[in-house]
Chains A and B, each alone.
Chain A
């Protein structure tokens, strides 16, 4: 399967909270906020193994994430709120002041290219 559609839900994780204490510029924070929790069967359907990278596309942008299998519904993808998730979120708030941080329609697909951090 080349891609799977689903809904992105931004969350906070305990690992993110711990990494934040070390600083938001730390590799730990950057890594955790770019880690997507996905249903294990969805990962298999995409031909991805745990720890492999995938690309999320939304109507507002795209982001490369590392996949972590989790006990979550198949149609939901969970990504910590942070710089990676922000690449996918639009600025329309529907008059509420808050954009769509929960339930944004996205597509998940395998990613084999390089990212900005690879050269370092």
Chain B
């Protein structure tokens, strides 16, 4: 709801003084959600058809005819061609459009190819108007680790330093794959909860190896981790920087004294201890 009220649907800005009244919201999803109920248009597509949808929109925006779809009665991904034509027209004619896409697009059939095609669509839309695509991030500051890793290594995630220099390969160096293959023999978890978010086999392997967790809360990893180091949460007990999901870094202040050190203090102490060992 924060996104709705402050940043997207209801927000008023310099060029959108009427807030919700000055915007068109279109939701494309496989089911009716509260977001879809608040939208102007809801297009309920069949699961796993993202690639098909983006391709169709690209063709319609270029004015091409979809050869295998009847112009009168045809459908794409379970939605009438007429509805897609209206959406393509709306996207082309708006002053400033944004596609917010979630893990339904990135994790369903097609995966990274869906995103490649979506970004191609957005690039082509910019020939007509101003258009962006912003991934909806699931947790606070996921964007932050992507930024810092990219700034430090050139790669956004799945970075391996075992040879002394960064190497990048999702599927080989990503956490689920490495745990699934049982290649990891010790884990240092910072500010995330693999016990709640990783597949069972990955969690079972973590439970068998030394796992150290830096975490301000009790979560589904802390009960079985071998070492839990409590830390002060950034923005409450420690200063820090969050990256908003539109890539804007926001500095947060320390509000209250906390009995625990910050992540940075713990990491610095560990680094010095290892360097002087």
Q: Are B199 and A99 in contact (CB under 8 A)?
A: yes
Known: A9-B47, A60-B201. A96 touches B171 (CB 8 A): yes
Question: Please, what's the 1-or-0 string for A16-51, where 1 marks a CB less than 8 Å from any CB in chain B?
Answer: 000000011100000000000000000000000000
Contact B201 A91 (CB under 8 A): yes
Say whether B170 contacts A97, CB under 8 Å.
yes
Report how far A79 CA is from B211 CA in the complex, Å: 28
Closest to B1 in A: A14
Contact with A along B25-65 (1 / 0, CB 8 A): 00000111010000000000001100000000000000000
Given contacts A93-B170, A93-B171, contact A87 B200 (CB under 8 A): yes
Q: Are A24 and B199 in contact (CB under 8 A)?
A: no
Chain B contact surface mostly: loop
Q: Which of A86-105 contact B (CB under 8 A)?
A: 86-103
Whether the pair A101, B201 counts as a contact (CB closer than 8 A) is: no
**Chain B hits for A9, CB < 8 A:** 30, 47, 104
- Known contacts A72-B31, A83-B195; A99 and B138 CB within 8 A of each other: no
The one of A24, A61, A99 in contact with B196, judged by C-beta atoms closer than 8 angstroms, is: A24
Distance between Cα atoms of A9 and B214 in the complex (Å): 30
Number of A-B contacts (CB under 8 A): 103
Interface segment, one of B7-15, B215-223, B226-234: B215-223
Residues of B within 8 A of A12 (CB): 138
Q: Could you list which residues of chain A lie within 8 angstroms of chain B, going by C-beta atoms?
A: 7, 9, 12, 14, 23-25, 60-61, 70-73, 76, 78, 81-83, 86-103
B residues near A, CB below 8 A?
A: 30-32, 34, 47-48, 103-104, 106-109, 111-112, 138, 157-158, 170-172, 174-177, 179-181, 193, 195-203, 217-220, 223
Q: When A and B form their complex, which 9 residue pairs have the shortest distance between CB atoms, in order from nearest?
A: A91-B180, A97-B174, A95-B171, A97-B170, A89-B199, A102-B108, A102-B107, A72-B31, A101-B107
9 contacts between A and B (CB under 8 A): A9-B47, A60-B200, A86-B197, A94-B111, A95-B171, A97-B157, A98-B106, A99-B176, A99-B199
